Amino acid sequence: MLKINNLKVSVDGKEILKGVDLSINEGEVVALMGPNGSGKSSLASAIIGNPKYEVESGKILFKDENLLTMTPDERANKGIYMAFQYPVAISGVTVREMLLTALRAKNKEIVVSALDLKNAVEKEAEKLHINRELLSRGLNEGFSGGEKKKMEILQMRVLKPRLLILDEIDSGLDIDALATIAKNVAEMVKEMKMGVLVITHYQRVLSYLAPDKVAVMKDGLIVEQGGSEVVDRLEESGYQSFE
């Protein structure tokens, strides 16, 4: 579904990704691990098309289409969704308004009813134990870290992406919240064959969201790919055993 080939990316003229190869199939969970500053979030930014991340060479294909010629909006409309390491607040826009706009942009032919959406949002909020009061506040405005992350998952459940990128959803979440979210994601992988790129430093999230593949990034390159044994090796001896 997603194929990244020899991808080189720079920011402000500094090369950050130095030839990354990575692929994600439908219904596959791929974990991306690596030391701080190795380029994991930069790779995510390049996939969603953040213009700060300049692609110098290489390819990103999504369902055999070239993502690199698409705007971030076009990529989102293809079903690529990213939950951010640090979600931003959108003042004065509720989650429902945000979702209505996104769904209408995505399905131009189908009429998305505001009432249906309201019901869907409330149902998902209940499942995720999100306080209803948060639904009528500006998105992420004054939300706690955990509330922001839960709201990201709610958005994802309503938008039903084809490819989900999770950048450190495990930082700042309490153990129960992490379990809820990871299980929700695992459910969506099963139900709709969503592909997932999960960026993390810790084994815990991967115990709920069993990865089919684990890739280790170091200094802008994927230096190792394997199964869950890679995570065990990391837990045991850290990154110095990967070159």
Ligand X SMILES: Nc1ncnc2c1ncn2[C@@H]1O[C@H](COP(=O)(O)OP(=O)(O)OP(=O)(O)O)[C@@H](O)[C@H]1O
Contacts (Cβ under 8 Å, ≥6 apart) of 56: 8, 9, 10, 15
213 neighbors 195 (Cβ within 8 angstroms): no
Shortest approach of ligand X to residue 65 CB, angstroms? 25
Contact between 41 and Mg ion by CB under 5 A: the answer reads: yes
Q: Which of 7, 9, 41, 140 binds ligand X (CB under 6 A)?
A: 41
Q: What is the C-alpha to C-alpha distance for residues 136 and 139, in angstroms, rounded to an integer? A: 8
Q: How far is CA 27 from each of CA 1, 24, 30, 55, 241, rounded to the nearest angstrom?
A: 9, 9, 10, 27, 30
Residue nearest to Mg ion (CB): 41
Judged by CB under 6 A, the chain residues 16 through 35 that form the site for ligand X are 16, 34
Q: Taking the CA of residue 166 as centre, how many other CA atoms within 13 Å lie in the half-sphere pointing to its CB?
A: 30
Helices and strands, counts by H and E, the chain: 8, 10
Which lies closer to Mg ion via its Cβ, residue 41 or residue 180?
41
Q: What is the C-alpha to C-alpha distance for residues 58 and 10, in angstroms, rounded to an integer? A: 12
Q: Which of 39, 79, 161, 195 binds ligand X (CB under 6 A)?
A: 39
# of chain residues touching Mg ion (CB under 5 A): 1
Contact characters 44-63, ligand X, x per CB under 6 A: --------x-----------
Shortest approach of Mg ion to residue 39 CB, angstroms? 8
Residue 16 is encoded by which pair of tokens? 């950050």
192 neighbors 111 (Cβ within 8 angstroms): no
Q: Which of 29, 38, 155, 158 binds ligand X (CB under 6 A)?
A: 38
Shortest approach of Mg ion to residue 152 CB, angstroms? 15
Which lies closer to ligand X via its Cβ, residue 39 or residue 211?
39
Shortest approach of ligand X to residue 44 CB, angstroms? 8
Q: Which residues bind ligand X (CB under 6 A)?
A: 11-12, 16, 34, 36-42, 52
Q: Which residues bind Mg ion (CB under 5 A)?
A: 41
